[in-house]
């Protein structure tokens, strides 16, 4: 987990959303649990809506805000520790329940 992209966070290359897409592609906690492939397009659209209207609250964009504030690794840490074996969910994890 210590070498996961979620711990490293922002690199300063690209927008936060572009960086989140990069980190998500490298972090199984984001890619498999928090924002799976089928949810990414909706998530990306929602973040763009929130950025266009900053007065709107967006709890469903928490990973975006966590990356921006440098807390993404802390947010993903329990997922890495308890729900994943390396890059895959543990056998007892019911992804439909998440």
In a domain, 23, yes or no: yes
Structural domain for 19, as ranges: 5-84
In a domain, 73, yes or no: yes
In a domain, 17, yes or no: yes
User: How far is the first Cα of the chain from the last one, in angstroms, to the nearest whole number?
Assistant: 21
In a domain, 90, yes or no: no
Backbone angles phi, psi at 15, to 5 degrees: -75, 165
In a domain, 80, yes or no: yes
Average pLDDT (22-29) is 94
Q: How far is CA 36 from the centre of its chain?
A: 9
- Number of domains making up the chain: 1
Which has more pLDDT, 22 or 58?
A: 22
In a domain, 98, yes or no: no
Whether the pLDDT of residue 2 is over 80: the answer is: no
In a domain, 89, yes or no: no
- State residue 58's pLDDT score: 64
In a domain, 47, yes or no: yes
Angle between helix 40-52 and helix 16-26 axes, rounded to 10 deg: 160
Q: Model confidence over 40-92: pLDDT tens digits? A: 999 999 888 888 887 776 666 889 889 989 999 999 999 999 999 988 999 98
Residues 89, 25, 13, 69, Cα dihedral to 10°:
-30
Whether the pLDDT of residue 1 is over 60: the answer is: no
């Amino acid at each position: 987990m210590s070498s996961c992209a979620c711990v490293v966070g922002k690199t300063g290359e690209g927008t936060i959303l572009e960086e989140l897409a990069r980190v998500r592609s490298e972090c199984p906690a984001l890619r498999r649990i928090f924002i799976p492939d089928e949810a990414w397009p909706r998530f990306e659209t929602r973040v763009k809506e929130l950025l266009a209207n900053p007065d709107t609250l967006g709890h469903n964009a928490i990973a975006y805000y966590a990356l921006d504030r440098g807390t993404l690794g802390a947010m993903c840490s329990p997922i890495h520790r308890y729900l994943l074996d390396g890059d895959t969910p543990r056998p007892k994890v019911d992804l439909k329940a998440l």
